[in-house]
Structure 1
Amino acid sequence: MAQARLLGNRYRLDSVVGRGGMGTVWRAFDTMLDREVAVKEVVLPPGLSDAERAVLYERTFREARASARLNHSGVVTVHDVVEESDRPWIVMELVLAPSLQDIIERGPMEHRRVADIGLQMLGALQHAHQKGILHRDVKPSNVLVTDTGRAVLTDFGIAQMEGDSTLTQTGLVMGSPAYIAPERVQGERAVPASDLWALGATLYAAVEGRSPYERSDAMSSLQAALTEPVPPARNAGPLGRVLEGLLAREPFGRMTAAQALPMLTQVAAMPQPSPPRPPVANETMTDEPSARYLPGGRPDDASETVLDPEDLDPVTRRDAGKGGEPDPVTRRDPGRFQDRGAPHRPPPSPPRPDPEPRTLVGTEWAPPPSQHPSVQHPSVRQPHPSLPPQTPPPWEQPQQYANWQQPPPPPVHDRPRGGGERRKTVLVVTVAVVLVVAAVLLGAFILRGRLGTGALGGAPDHPVAARPLICAPPAVTAGCSETTSVITM
């Protein structure tokens, strides 16, 4: 057996636990502190120039420095960095667990489990963002999930820290195409919301089996993230609202970590569905020797009929319940009222108490009435200083939070249906009647004036006696007739 290599006169390299495009991960032993550790060896591809090698080595040191600044259960702890054989070696916490990508390849995951993983990843990202660190490469292969349910974020190799220059060259976007936020595809500076978009794509892949923008090649994936809507998450259940918010294309309209936290908590805390009840046997066995049954459901003693009290008619049951000598049919041993031909009736279960009111955020649940859309969470963070300050995020504007929660139903007024239509009909009829009456009065006035002047050819020279007029109803078109003649003096 070959002797194990001792790195830096301290770390014994025992076995390889993983390989990637940028290196090999060893299972090692710290001989000074007597503990198991993981050692990441950077293995560069052949044919690189000195400048390219320098950039990749700097990326390794960047990963070590970024991880060393973090102290969170959702982030792999870095212990040491050793330079040997002209390459850096990162000594870190040993986490023996499959990646989330390995689990997804076995099939889509249940939404409650995904929500729990999302909670842990969200906490790790919040911790990193508070330290001024952006991960920039959140994806399923960089998340380890242990048997106990712990989720750990790894590989801060392309992390961006405040005060450090970026390793990204002009026109080059580093990261995995199917998990790069749209603003980064457009060449904009990464912000905390960019990591949240990648987290949403990672959780989407966990419940659906693939990233929402995974395509056959890198360019197609990047183009889809810029132009195509997010495909519906059919297996997400109540987690779909969180995915919709995290995958919003514009970073200003994207759900924040403070808003996603309670929603993920509620989904992760949803109760498990009740297991199906076992089937009830068709026969009820008895230890009584005289109850032996032959095929067909007939007992050995055919002279004695065994009945179920439920099969008796009401009169027989009523008589059996009275005092005195019971009916011969009901005078049976209660233990022998077994009907082998009918299914066993289990005793009725006691009524279940009303479940406690729950407010689960999802596609079918409304928000609690106490959460007003315009109330801002005290922990909502301000936009990144690199973003235009004149346009506040919609999540921080009043009345915009309703985009991700169902608004309350409109008030219902106690009024009969169709009241507006009936009032409109009454108004139209009233106006029509008024117009008809006005037309009749106007016609009568005009006709009276003509009779008063036209009959005498002008103004009269002598007094004229009153001439009463008899007018026909409006439906009669004959007009009015004079009943008296003109009297001259």
Structure 2
Amino acid sequence: MTYDGSEQGGPELIGGRYRLGERLGQGGMGVVRRATDELLGREVAVKTLALDSGADPAGALREARVVAQVRHPHVIVVHDVVEHEGRPALVMELIEGGSLADRLAAGEVFSPAEAARLGLDLLDALTAAHARDVLHRDVKPANVLLEKDSGRAVLTDFGIASLPDATTLSRTGAFIGTPEYTAPERMQGGDAGPASDLWSLGAVLCAAATGTSPFRRDSIGAVLHAIVYEEIRPSARMGPLVPVVRGLLERDPELRLGAAEARRLLAACAAGEDPAALAPVPTLREDALPAVPAPAGADTAAGGRGSGRRRAGALPFVTAAVAVCAAAATVAVLLAMQDEPPAGPPGATGTGSTATSAPATTPTPRTPVSGAGRPLSRQVTDESGFSLLVPYGAIRSTDGERVVYTSPDGAVRVGVRIRPVPPGGAIGVMRTSAEDGPKTNPGYRDGTVEETTHRGLPAARWEFTWDGFTRAEGARHTFDVAWEEDETLYDVWVSAPVSRLEEARTRFGATVESFRATGG
């Protein structure tokens, strides 16, 4: 709803105390006017339903009840509900200053720090709503009011807010919400929860920092396609906001950045720090990999077949990462560039949390470089009990069972899983994984499994190609090796686009050779 300050309304009195004044804005369902509360002598805003909008009058009462449950400085306050022309009208606090949509329409763009402070206000509002089991479902610039003097952001218009189990469609089957800012799971009629509002927050942050939604297109169909399928590339002008926006715009809601981590990253950005140094990563399922920067998904690496089943409603946007074995002759190339010797106990460990990020690895003493002087790879010591070579600058994520390191460009992934040796041992795990390949990896082909040894220990190797979960992801090749040692199964894999096959092969060999158990 746009607050334009135009058009004077009539001086009528409603509810016996509210004198209506100028129109502040109008949306599809109603009109917002300035009014004077003649009983208390204060300025308020009155939202009345448009007679021809088809809006259900009961919806206004419902909105008032919803907002009354969520009392927070960054959520609009509803003072009263009165009757106007036979329909309920909401009497709300008046926020002088207009909406974020007004500011963007006027050509204003927020700095990353300013957008981060805005994001913190909205995140606090959403957190308060979610704590009451309320989903806003229409977070967008028009529903963000900005107080002129204080700069306080206020989330308004809870007209389509719902409980988490409410349907995405109205009773007439019409989609409710604003497509440009609506999460992909809602677009596809899937389960919608708090994560859906967080996606919308990510899109609003993009708009605040760049002037427009990242999903703005010429038609509704194109908007829907962009949200559900197209590669998401946050604009470089967002600077330090990019890590949190990437996390919030993760298509799979189960992988999306959570409120607590988003707050930590936004606070860092608002304080002038670089959130990229915090290596933000959403909590992952067992079969999941981080999606940076494009829509991504998860190869189900060996031994994780059961976890390959996604819950109903979840989108298959998480790319693959399963592992493999490579030529020993190329191993020395990468091993010569590692930061520290692969052997030996860790000098430090991470926090021990379930969902962790790059700081959980031990800092390395020197930076490896390629012939062009650019970082290539580094040896990390992970809190989960191992040390190995990963792409330099890789982002770490874990679901508690698997640890995945993703290269900065999101293309190459190195994964590790450590667990007790299951029945059938390494070869049994790999054969089962290969049998399930067509189910877990679209376009699965050229799969091979062979029994082998690793450092004289029983082992198995699996290699295959597949199509990726999205067109943007493209075809990928994965290498995986698992071996048994002291009643423990170690599984290490590497996944990369087929266009980078030789790089993946080389890195896989180096990674496997560099691996050491540290007992962390």
TM class by shorter-chain length? 0.5 to 0.7
Go from structure 1 to structure 2 and tell me whether the alpha carbon gap of 1:125 and 1:390 turns closer, same or farther (over 3 Å shift): closer
Amino acid at match of 2:79: H
**Deviations, residues 309-363 of structure 1 (Å, cap 9, x unaligned):** xxxxxxxxxxxxxxxxxxxxxxxxxxxxxxxxxxxxxxxxxxxxxxxxxxx3434
Matches within 5 A, 1:251-262: 251-262=253-264
Matched, 1:402 2:357: yes
User: Is 1:6 paired with 2:13?
Assistant: yes
Q: Deviations over 1:14-44 (max 9, x none)?
A: 2222222222111111122222211111114
Q: 1:257-268 alignment to 2 at 5 Å?
A: 257-268=259-270
The residue number in structure 2 matching 1:87 is: 87
Match of 1:186 in 2: 188
Paired AA for residue 75 in structure 2: V
User: Comparing both structures, which one devotes a greater share of its residues to strand?
Assistant: 2
Q: Which residue of 2 aligns with 1:104?
A: 104
The answer to whether residue 24 in structure 2 is matched with residue 17 in structure 1 is yes
Percentage identity across paired residues of the two chains: 42
Q: Distance in 1 between matches of 2:154 and 2:279?
A: 31
Greater fraction helix: 1
Q: Distance in 2 between matches of 1:269 and 1:389?
A: 37
1-side partners of 2:362 and 2:138: how far apart?
39
Deviations 1:62-114 (A, max 9, x none): 22111111111101100111123122211111111121111122132111110
1:292-322 CA distances to partner (integer Å, 9 max, x unpaired)? xxxxxxxxxxxxxxxxxxxxxxxxxxxxxxx
**Paired AA for residue 137 in structure 2:** R
Give 2:249's match in structure 1, choosing from 247, 250, 256.
247
Counterpart of 2:117 in 1: which secondary structure? helix
Q: Does 1:42 align with 2:43?
A: no
| 1:410 shift after superposition | 4.6
Pick closer, same or farther for the CA change 1:139–1:407 going to 2, 3 Å: farther
- Equivalent in the alignment of 1:224: 226
Larger relative contact order, structure 1 or 2 (CA cutoff 8 Å, min sep 6): 2
Q: Scaled by the length of structure 2, what TM-score is found?
A: 0.52
CA deviations 1:115-145 (Å, max 9, x no partner) are: 0000000000000000110000000110011
Letter in structure 2 aligned against 1:69: Q
CA distance in 1, matches of 2:224, 2:165: 28
Q: 1:366 offset after TM fit, Å? A: 5.1
Q: How does 1:335-346 map to 2 (within 5 A)?
A: none
Looking at structure 2, the residues matched to 175 and 13 of structure 1 have their Cα atoms a distance apart, in angstroms, of 28
Closer/same/farther in 2, CA of residues 95 and 255 from structure 1, 3 Å limit: same
Q: Structure 1's 128 and 413: CA in aligned 2 closer, same or farther, altered over 3 A?
A: closer
- For 1:137, the equivalent position in structure 2 comes to 138
Distance, in Å, in 2 between the alignment partners of 1:138 and 1:44 is 25
* Unpaired segments ≥5 residues, structure 1: 47-52, 271-359, 375-385, 415-489
- Residue 124 of structure 1 corresponds to 125
Partner of 1:76: 76
RMSD: 3.5
In the TM superposition, residue 180 of structure 1 has moved relative to its aligned partner by 0.6
* 1:11 Cα deviation after fit: 1.0
Q: Residues 222 and 70 of structure 1: is their aligned pair in 2 closer, same or farther, counting only changes over 3 Å?
A: same
**Which residue identity lines up with residue 127 of structure 2 in the other structure?**
Q
- Aligned mates of 1:4, 1:41 — CA distance in 2: 15
3-state SS of 2:103 partner: helix
Q: Shift of the alpha carbon at 1:239?
A: 1.0
Cα gap change, 1:184 to 1:243, in 2 (>3 Å): same
CA distance in 2, matches of 1:157, 1:29: 23
1:245 and 1:169 map into 2 onto residues whose CA distance is 33
Give the residue type in structure 2 aligned to 1:71.
R
TM-score by structure 1 length? Answer: 0.55
Q: Tell whether the 8 Å contact from 2:185 to 2:314 is kept in structure 1 after alignment.
A: no
What residue identity is the alignment partner of 2:52?
P
Larger Rg: 1
Structure 2 Cα separation of the partners of residues 3 and 196 of structure 1:
40
- With over 3 angstroms needed to count, the CA separation of the structure-2 counterparts of 1:104 and 1:401, relative to structure 1, is farther
Change (3 A) 1:94 1:410: same
Match of 1:169, SS state, is: coil
1:355-375 C-alpha deviation (Å, 9 max, x unpaired): xxxxx3434x3569xx9x99x
8 Å Cα contact 2:67/2:158 also seen in 1: yes
The equivalent of 1:29 in structure 2 is: 36
SS in structure 1 at match of 2:237? coil
Contact 1:72/1:127, CA 8 A, preserved across alignment? yes
SS in 1 for 2:246: helix
Deviation at 1:149, TM superposition (A): 1.0
Tell me which amino acid in the other structure corresponds to 2:125.
A
Q: Distance in 2 between matches of 1:95 and 1:262?
A: 28
Residue number in structure 1 paired with 2:204: 202
Q: Summarize the alignment of residues 143-158 of structure 1 with structure 2, pairs less than 5 Å apart.
A: 143-147=144-148, 148-158=150-160
Assess if the C-alpha contact under 8 Å between 1:75 and 1:152 holds in 2. Answer: yes
Matches of 1:2 and 1:198, distance apart in 2 = 33
Q: Unmatched 5+ residue regions in structure 2?
A: 1-7, 285-309, 319-350, 369-520
Distance 1:160 1:367, change over 3 A: closer
Mapped contact 1:62–1:158 kept (Cα < 8 A)? no
Contact in 2 for aligned 1:101/1:140 (Cα 8 Å): yes
> 1:134 aligns to what SS in structure 2?
coil
Judged with a 3 Å threshold, the aligned counterparts in structure 2 of structure 1 residues 397 and 67 are, in CA distance, closer, same or farther, namely farther
- Aligned runs of 1:43-58 on 2, under 5 Å? 43-45=50-52, 53=54, 56-58=56-58
| Deviation of 1:204 (Å) | 0.6
1:234 shift after superposition: 1.4
Distance 1:217 1:397, change over 3 A: farther
Contact 2:185 2:313 in 1 (8 A): no
